[in-house]
Amino acid sequence: MLLDGNRVRGEILAECRSRVEALKDAGHRPGLAVILVGNDPASEIYVRNKIKTCQELGIYSEKLTPPATATTEEIVALVEGLNGRPDIDGILPQLPLPPQMDPKKVQLAVSPDKDVDGLHPLNLGRLAANLPGPRPCTPAGILELLRRYQIPIAGRHAVVVGRSDLVGKPVALLLMHQHATVTICHSRTPNLAEVCARADILVAAMGRPALITREFIKPGATVIDVGTNRISDREEAARIFRNSAAKLEEFDRKGSLLVGDVDPIDVVDVAGAYTPVPGGVGPLTISMLMVNTIEAAERELGKACFA
Q: Which residues are tagged catalytic? A: 50, 94, 117
Q: How many CB atoms lie within 10 A of CB 155?
A: 10
Q: How far apart are CA 273 and CA 2, in angstroms?
A: 6
Q: Which amino acid is at 232?
A: S
> Exposed, middle or buried: residue 306 (CB in 10 Å: 0-12, 13-18, 19+)?
exposed
Alpha helix stretches (DSSP H) within the chain: 5-25, 41-57, 72-83, 103-109, 121-128, 137-148, 168-177, 192-196, 234-240, 245-254, 264-270, 282-305
How far apart are the C-alpha atoms of 19 and 51, rounded to whole Å? 18
**Do 46 and 72 meet the contact criterion of CB atoms below 8 Å apart?**
no
**Taking each helix axis from N to C terminus, what angle separates 41-57 and 5-25, rounded to the nearest 10 degrees?**
50
Q: Fill in the amino acid letter for 293.
A: T
DSSP string for 74-95: HHHHHHHHHHT-TT--EEEEPS
* Rounded Cα gap, residues 86 and 251, in angstroms: 47
| 3-state class (DSSP) for residue 222 | strand
Strand 273-274's sheet: what is its strand order? 181-185, 157-161, 201-204, 222-225, 273-274
Specify the length of the chain in residues.
Answer: 307
| Rounded (10°) angle between helices 282-305 and 5-25 | 20
Instruction: Give the β-pairing of 31-35 and 273-274.
Output: unpaired
